[in-house]
Amino acid sequence: MQKQKRLTDFFVSPVAKKSTSESPRTPLFEFDSQLPAAKRQKTFKGENDVRQAILDAGQRKIGGQYCKQCDMMYCIDNITEVAMHEKHHNRYSDITRVKVSSSQLNTWLRKECHYSTNRGYIFRILPEPLSSLRRKAEQIIEDLVNSSVGFSPDLSIWGWDKRRTVWISILTEGPSYLIAGIVITEPLMSAQYSDSGKELRDGEPIIGVNRIWTHSAARRRGVASEMLDLIRQRYFTGAYVPKHR
């Protein structure tokens, strides 16, 4: 009786053929009952992976931190959050936002109402018309001034009746220019003294100071006093307002 062959034997070279024992139950195909083990892929845990643990090696600060000065919560072990906190924390002392280029200043000097001082210029900005100087002032007030003086960032600048005036002091620092101070004023019909509570209403002009702010890089240099002195001289045409008003 002729020996039974597997189907795969017809595709194998004669040299590689192996002798097989005679068996009526010889399978037609060869197969391996042991499947190859699947390779386990290595996963990399990045710095933002929530599964990444933080090792406590006795460091003084670990995990979430709260900064009272800038009112921000961040993770001190995360490089990205630390950088975000530094940027947010130093936003009041950073002069990048308040720098003015020479071309911007020249444009404002040609188009906007301004007064020259010993150290720079003071600009007077009204609610209308819209200009690049007004947009710059509104941006600084919303980003820096309001939160610095304890107001809501979205607090109205011009008021519902748009009677307020914004004053900006620009100092000359060598070849560069810096927005050093901002004062928001409005005319009042009456006022009340904070110390005595006495009401002031005599028909004479009164200037109300809604907000006053000086950049940290320009404080203790008389910027606010210089602005208030000029406002009392220039606010009302032909009238000088004394300090107590």
Q: Which of 194, 187, 182, 99 is nearest to 148 (CA)?
A: 182
Amino acid found at 241: V
Query: 74, exposed or middle or buried, with CB in 10 Å at 0-12, 13-18, 19+?
Result: buried
Instruction: Specify whether the CB–CB gap between 62 and 82 falls below 8 A.
Output: no
Which of 74, 70, 92 has the alpha carbon at shortest distance from 83? 74
Q: Are 185 and 164 in contact (CB under 8 A)?
A: yes
pLDDT of 35 strictly over 70:
no
Spatial neighbors of 56 by CB under 8 A, at least 6 apart, are 62
CB 72 within 8 A of CB 89: yes
Q: What is the pLDDT of residue 115?
A: 95
Task: Look at 184 and 193; give whichever has higher pLDDT.
Answer: 184
At residue 219 the predicted structure's pLDDT band, cuts being 50, 70 and 90, is confident
Calculate ∠ Cα 12-18-19, nearest 5°: 130
3-state class (DSSP) for residue 194: coil
Task: Pick 143 or 36 by higher pLDDT.
Answer: 143
Residues of the chain with CATH 3.40.630: 99-235
Q: For 37, phi and psi rounded to 5 degrees?
A: -70, 135
Domain 99-235 falls in which CATH fold? Answer: Aminopeptidase (3.40.630)
Q: Quick one: average pLDDT of 36-52?
A: 60
| Whole-angstrom distance, CA of residue 197 vs CA of residue 245 | 14
Q: What is the pLDDT of residue 105?
A: 93
Q: How high is the mean pLDDT of the chain?
A: 80
Instruction: Decide if 164 contacts 155 (C-beta within 8 A).
Output: no
Q: Is the pTM of this model over 0.75?
A: no
> How much is the pLDDT for 126?
93
- Phi/psi of residue 66, nearest 5 degrees: -120, 125
pLDDT of residue 171: 92
pLDDT score recorded for residue 92: 67
Least confidently predicted of 83-97, 106-120, 167-181: 83-97
pLDDT at 104: 92
CA 237/CA 244 separation, integer angstroms = 19
- State the pLDDT confidence band at 103, using cuts at 50, 70 and 90: very high
Percent of residues, the chain, with pLDDT higher than 70: 70
pLDDT (tens digit, 9 = 90+) per residue, 138-153?
999 998 899 888 888 8
pLDDT at 16: 53
Average pLDDT of span 153-172: 91
> Looking at residue 185, what is its pLDDT?
94
Residue 227 pLDDT exceeds 80:
yes
Residue 8: band (very low, low, confident or very high) from pLDDT cuts 50, 70, 90: low
pLDDT, greater one: 159 or 73: 159
